[in-house]
Amino acid sequence: MTIIKLPNNKFWKNKFFFFGILFGAVIVTCITLPIILVQNVHTTTSHTSEWSYLRQDLWDGLCQTGQKQSPINLIETVVDDIYTTLPSIHLENINYFETVEVGNTGHTVTLNLTKNNSTQPRLYGGGLSGNFTLNHAHFHWPSEHSINGKSFDLEAHLVFYSDLFQSLSDALEVPNQVTVLAILFEQSNNESSKTHTNFQTIDKAVLKVSFYAGSTAETSKGLTLEDFFPNDLESFFAYSGSLTTPSCNEGVNWIILREPVEIYENDLDYLTNVFTEEQELLEKNNRDLQEVNGRTIVVH
């Protein structure tokens, strides 16, 4: 065996000292970089999801046995004894919000607009009994509802509960005390669409939580909720349905705005680039269409 002996001089001592520092810096960077990347991201304990969009046949309870389930196909053609008219819907406090909490639940992207804002959006009219307060908003891609058999690229659900209750969970125990207002979006190459600024703000927060199901992050600036709505708030469908995720509670008031809104294609790509608790890309999160079963569908 040949032994190579290095010269004992300042050159080699300095070399070893330099490489020692460099190696230490690399190790520190590898340890701290992930921490820097996820700063300001709040996580909850992760566990295997109890349900999946890939196996909707395994959803139990009302999801299988209910007779008033959502979503459904909505038909604009007037049919006797099915379509009637309702008063207009009214929305309050849908202007500017300073910060919004964005979450990745592993099943969708959520928006909590009321956590850091004293203003609470409210909904009334449209045949609803009383006033309703916004709990949160979330998204489905592609859309869950369809119109005349046509689906859309994205559907936003704004989930409201009656002012008679202290929480959404309490309101779900009583029929007609929860209302979901749905907005349909169509992808476009129009970077000047009125939703672009809002979705840019949301998407920057989504990037922080994309790979971490159960985590939340706050937007770096505010957004204007009103810009998500179509110009025409007078045209909508309304019917009695259910939640579109387990446990599929029935007795939910649905209002679906008929005019779709543009979403810039890049904004849609960033928004929907989220992963499940199993670290799989959530390619789609829409429930299959359900039977109408003779329900009254109201068109306005």
What CA–CA distance (Å, rounded) separates 40 from 54?
A: 31
pTM of the model: 0.85
Task: Look over the chain and give the mean of its residue pLDDT values, rounded to a whole number.
Answer: 86
Tell whether the model's pLDDT for residue 56 goes beyond 50.
yes
CA distance 5 to 20: 20
Residue range 87-107, pLDDT digits in tens: 899 999 999 999 999 999 999
Q: What are the CB-based long-range contacts (under 8 Å, 24+) for 52-56? A: 52/276, 53/107, 53/282, 53/284, 53/285, 53/286, 53/287, 56/287, 56/288
Q: Are the CB atoms for 71 and 289 separated by under 8 Å?
A: yes
What is the percent of the chain where pLDDT is above 90? 75
Give the per-residue pLDDT at 29.
44
> What does the domain layout of the chain look like in residue ranges?
10-39, 42-299
Helices (H) and strands (E) in the chain, counts: 5, 17
Q: Is residue 255 within 8 Å of residue 182, measured between CB atoms? A: yes
What span, in angstroms and rounded, lies between the C-alpha atoms of 111 and 113?
6
Q: What pLDDT band is residue 78 in, cutting at 50, 70 and 90?
A: low
Say if residues 60 and 50 touch (Cβ distance below 8 Å): no
What are the tokens at 253? Answer: 């008031």
pLDDT at position 85 is: 65
Read off the tokens for 98: 């300073």
CATH number for the region 42-299 comes to 3.10.200.10
